Amino acid sequence: MKVVIAEKPSVAREIAAVLNITEKKSGYIEGRGCAITWAFGHLVTLQEPGEYDEALKRWSLETLPFIPDEFKLKLIGNRGVEDQFNVIKGLCEQAEEIVCATDAGREGELIFRYILALSGCENKPIRRLWLNSLTPDAIKEAFKNLKDGHEYDPLYAAARCRSESDWIVGLNATRYYTVRHGRFGGGADRVLWSIGRVQTPVLAMIVQRDDQIDQFRSQPFWELTTKYRETVFKYTGDRFQSLEKAQPLLAKITGQPFEITGIDGKDKKEPPPQLFDLTTLQRDINKAHGLSAADTLAATQNLYESKLVTYPRTDSRYLNTDMKPRIPGIFQGLEKIYPEQIAPLNLAKLPFTSRIIDDKKVTDHHAIIPTGMEPRGLGANEQLVYDAIVTQFIAAFYPACLKKLTTVSGVSNEVPFQAKGTLIVKPGWTALFPKKKKQSDDEDDDQSLPDFSKGESGPHEPFLREGKTNPPKHFTENSLLGAMEAAGKFVEDDALREALKERGIGTPATRAAIIETLLQRNYIWREKKLLLATDMGRCLIALIRDPLLKSPEMTGEWEEKLKQIERQKMDPAEFMNGICGYIRGLIQNSVSGQLDLTRVGSCPLCGKEVIKGRTAYGCSGWKEGCAYVLSPDYKGLTLSPNQIQVLLQLHILPYSVTIDGEPRLLILSTQGQPMDLILPSADRQKKEK
């Protein structure tokens, strides 16, 4: 008997229907010498420390770090999991061959292999079904091309390394920081500080961005501009930092004629957009509609399981060469729904450029594209995501947008000016995105220009335009996903982002879940489209003194090594030895107190570094006039260096008060919001608000 294991019941039903297997049993479908069964996503996980040794159920520093000699597996404790696992195990024990039909990627491989391992069937012959979509034709084609399952051993090795490294770092760091700092504020209730190999660097990125904004001090500036023939010209020199410095130049040109000295026109081609990978789709939908990355992934997964789009968890924006013959048929299927958009295309001569077809840039899966099947009864999110995928697919085959960029130079009393304008000559692909017209950072660069002639002259209206420097922007899911994809670097250029993908934080399949985990643990919160760090999140980053644990670059290097394991370019043991060595060093250095406590945080008033003096903590910007000083002692209450770090990370100011005749330190945020009371002695473990 052949046994097929799918990742979800819905996928198992699709496969059974295509193979004409119809006899329904409890937990599987049978017929024609084949049984098709299913998991519920992950059924099997790694055991907890207490399951290796009863003594490890108690959290203590003495037992850290704990790294098993050999990892052991157990069933996830969800309802129905044990019953379904027993069904799968019974079928596998009878099977002559087992087909892996879980999602075609790292996590799908892990789900299948962990099930085999726990059921004791690892030595059975295995085959791999690799699906890019769930259409009947795709399923039939994939079954014709079943691969030896052991060809995917490197993929499983990478998946297992990911699973075990997350366990090692997350469990040991979480136990260490919770035991060491769980009562950091003197409260009676212990705080569970959850640390993750991937989630903590992402949180650190958000906290750092919020810090940059909080510490930003806007500076005024003035720009010298003039209006000639209803066109705004800008002075070509630098902005002025004070009004007094700008006024002499304004006076110099006031009442003087303005002359056009040059006209420079340049044609520009803007190529059509590339196809979507998952991260780009999530970013696009979040930017345009505010939908979260998790909701976008869920909607795309639903579309995939409804056979409307191809596999969603992909990091490629390209198609394989063997996809070329199928593309005209997909367009023909879409013509009923999008006739006007497809009409300009010649389906017999589609332009398969290198921005669409590139075998070298397709690894596990190609870009997300529609299958051409007609949608019915889609939910709001599914419709929104489906329209975006189809429109992007059509636009990729449209001609480039042709623009004319014009720069006009002028002068008044020897003071040089310039005006810039953009004229759309042929809209090309941009016709499909009327609301997505690419705007310049400066609206004056997109103004419509009249016909100027070199040498013409006339009166003008000079004026000074006041502005101020702006801080960086808070993260949205769109910008955070982009930063995660580029290992913490903020890159808008498509080509540069593509080059950095190998070192991204997390994978397209996991980035949405990382953001949701931070939200659920109250380390970040949403304010409309913005993602902001909470006080809990800021506290955690303040407590973590090891820079690598919150380093996007280090996490990006780990992810790159996992991809090298997939390609058999790195030994899995080498990766795991590095992870184990890192966590041992982290615990050892933390326990022995090898921390830099001389630099304790940023000044809540000016943003400069706070340093420790002989008797108090003070701002390093005191020479520039910042008077911030924080004494660690108040009427018998002494704040530890670690507590000082936490207070500064929260950007809060301490005020002394007396409650019931006893001294307290009342902590207020910089916005004046009361937060907590730190009590003067350890025997008073009561938390007051």
Q: Is pLDDT above 60 for 335? A: yes
Which tokens in the block code for residue 362? 């397709």
CATH annotation of 2-145:
3.40.50.140
Please give the Cα distance from 326 to 141 (Å, whole number).
13
Instruction: Provide mean pLDDT across the span 616-639.
Output: 76
Question: Tokens 């770092």 sit at which residue?
Answer: 169
Helix (H) / strand (E) element for 227: namely strand 220-228
pLDDT band of residue 496 (cuts 50, 70, 90) is: low
CATH class of 164-215+474-591: mainly alpha
Instruction: Provide mean pLDDT across the span 527-537.
Output: 92
- Sequence-distant contacts of 277-280: CB under 8 A, at least 24 apart: 277/314, 277/315, 277/316, 277/317, 277/367, 277/368, 277/508, 278/312, 278/313, 278/314, 278/315, 278/368, 278/508, 278/509, 279/315, 279/481, 279/482, 279/484, 279/485, 279/508, 279/511, 280/317
pLDDT at residue 43, rounded to an integer? 96
Beta strands 599-602 and 609-612, pairing class: antiparallel
Q: Is pLDDT above 70 for 204? A: yes
pLDDT at residue 623, rounded to an integer? 77
Please give the Cα distance from 627 to 619 (Å, whole number).
7
Residue pLDDT, tens place only, 32-62: 999 999 999 999 999 999 999 999 999 999 9
Please give the Cα distance from 575 to 278 (Å, whole number).
27
- For 352, the 3-state DSSP assignment is coil
pLDDT band of residue 439 (cuts 50, 70, 90) is: very low
Query: Any alpha helices (H) in 238-292, and if so which ranges?
Result: 243-253, 278-289
Catalytic residue among 152, 156, 311, 398: 311
Q: What is the pTM of this model?
A: 0.83
Please give the Cα distance from 302 to 309 (Å, whole number).
9
pLDDT at residue 96, rounded to an integer? 96
pLDDT at residue 490, rounded to an integer? 61
Q: Is pLDDT above 70 for 597? A: no
pLDDT band of residue 685 (cuts 50, 70, 90) is: very low
Q: Residue 676 to residues 137, 180, 595, 679: CA-CA distances in angstroms?
A: 62, 20, 26, 10
Residue pLDDT, tens place only, 382-435: 999 999 999 999 999 999 999 999 999 999 999 999 999 998 999 999 999 976
Active site residue 311: yes
Weakest-pLDDT range from 256-270, 457-471, 603-617, 650-664: 650-664
Fold of 278-395: Topoisomerase I; domain 4 (1.10.290)
- For 338, the 3-state DSSP assignment is coil
- Domain residue limits, the chain: 2-145, 164-215+474-591, 220-271+404-468, 278-395, 599-678
220-271+404-468 to CATH, choices 3.60.15.10, 3.40.50.1370, 2.60.40.10, 2.70.20.10: 2.70.20.10
| Neighbour count for residue 317 (Cβ, 10 Å) | 26
Helix (H) / strand (E) element for 138: namely helix 136-144
Q: Is pLDDT above 60 for 659? A: no
Instruction: Provide mean pLDDT across the span 445-456.
Output: 89
Instruction: Provide mean pLDDT across the span 167-175.
Output: 96
Residue pLDDT, tens place only, 106-133: 999 999 999 999 999 999 999 999 998 9
Please give the Cα distance from 447 to 421 (Å, whole number).
5
Please give the Cα distance from 533 to 495 (Å, whole number).
30
Which tokens in the block code for residue 431? 């016709």
Burial class (CB in 10 A: 0-12, 13-18, 19+), 466: exposed
pLDDT band of residue 682 (cuts 50, 70, 90) is: very low
| Neighbour count for residue 242 (Cβ, 10 Å) | 10
Which tokens in the block code for residue 102? 């879980």
Q: Residue 66 to residues 61, 74, 141, 175, 195: CA-CA distances in angstroms?
A: 10, 18, 47, 10, 15
Q: Is pLDDT above 90 for 599? A: no
Cα-Cα-Cα-Cα dihedral sign, residues 633, 636, 640, 644: negative
Structural contact between residues 643 and 185, judged by C-beta atoms closer than 8 angstroms: yes
Instruction: Provide mean pLDDT across the span 338-356.
Output: 96
Helix (H) / strand (E) element for 222: namely strand 220-228
- The DSSP symbol for 475 reads P
